[in-house]
Amino acid sequence: MLEAIVFYTLAAFVLGFGVLVITARNTVHSVLFLVANFLCVAVMYVALAAEFLAVIQVLVYAGGIVVLYLFVVMLVNLKAIPEAHMDPRRRSRLGFIVASAILLEVSAILVYAARRADAMPLPAGGGDGTPMTGNTEIVGWLLYTDYLIPFELASMLLLVAMIGAIILARREA
């Protein structure tokens, strides 16, 4: 009962902030609502007993990535909202059809996934009997053993992005 109340309140906040992100007139307000959205999602993670994910969500996403969004927004300094609906090249009917098709497909996948009885179980303990007590330990164990290659690939991707940004921004002195 308590769980349901908490979940629905949080979900309302998350969705509400999400809508505000899109509809805010001021770009900076939009980014701030995004931060609020992420914080609410972090609280949902806590409610799911995934406390490591919650903290990482705040630390990395809200505290790092959105800060960079803010930098860009402030430096680019958008004053006027682009009047997209006046663009003569828009094909709204085609866009609407494509969007509904994708929505149908996504819903189908969700329904199918919910119907499957056997969800993949998480390993309760590590391979060699290391005591797994919390979310952090489980995530850490999986990340560095079963999912090591994707982890390293993601790091490489980040490194390439960083180097690219440095090269782009570097001035020929």
Residue closer to other proteins (CB basis): 14 or 58: 58
Question: Least distance to other proteins from the beta carbon of 46, Å?
Answer: 7
Residue closer to other proteins (CB basis): 2 or 86: 2
Question: Least distance to other proteins from the beta carbon of 72, Å?
Answer: 11
Answer yes or no: are the C-beta atoms of 62 and 39 closer than 8 Å: yes
Residue closer to other proteins (CB basis): 40 or 62: 62
Q: How many other CB atoms are there within 10 angstroms of residue 128's CB atom?
A: 5
Residue closer to other proteins (CB basis): 52 or 147: 52
Question: Least distance to other proteins from the beta carbon of 14, Å?
Answer: 16
Residue closer to other proteins (CB basis): 28 or 108: 28
Question: Least distance to other proteins from the beta carbon of 132, Å?
Answer: 12
For 83-117, b where at least 16 C-beta lie within 10 A, e where not — what string? eeeeeeeeeeeeeeeeeeeeeeeeeeeeeeeeeee
131-to-50, 128, 171 alpha-carbon distances in Å: 17, 9, 52
Contact residues for other proteins (CB under 8 A)? Answer: 2-3, 6-7, 26, 28-29, 32, 35, 46-49, 51-52, 55-56, 58-59, 62-64, 67, 70-71, 74-75, 133-136, 167-168, 170, 172
What are the backbone angles phi and psi of residue 123, rounded to the nearest 5°? -65, 135
| CA neighbours closer than 13 Å in the CB half-sphere of residue 96 | 3
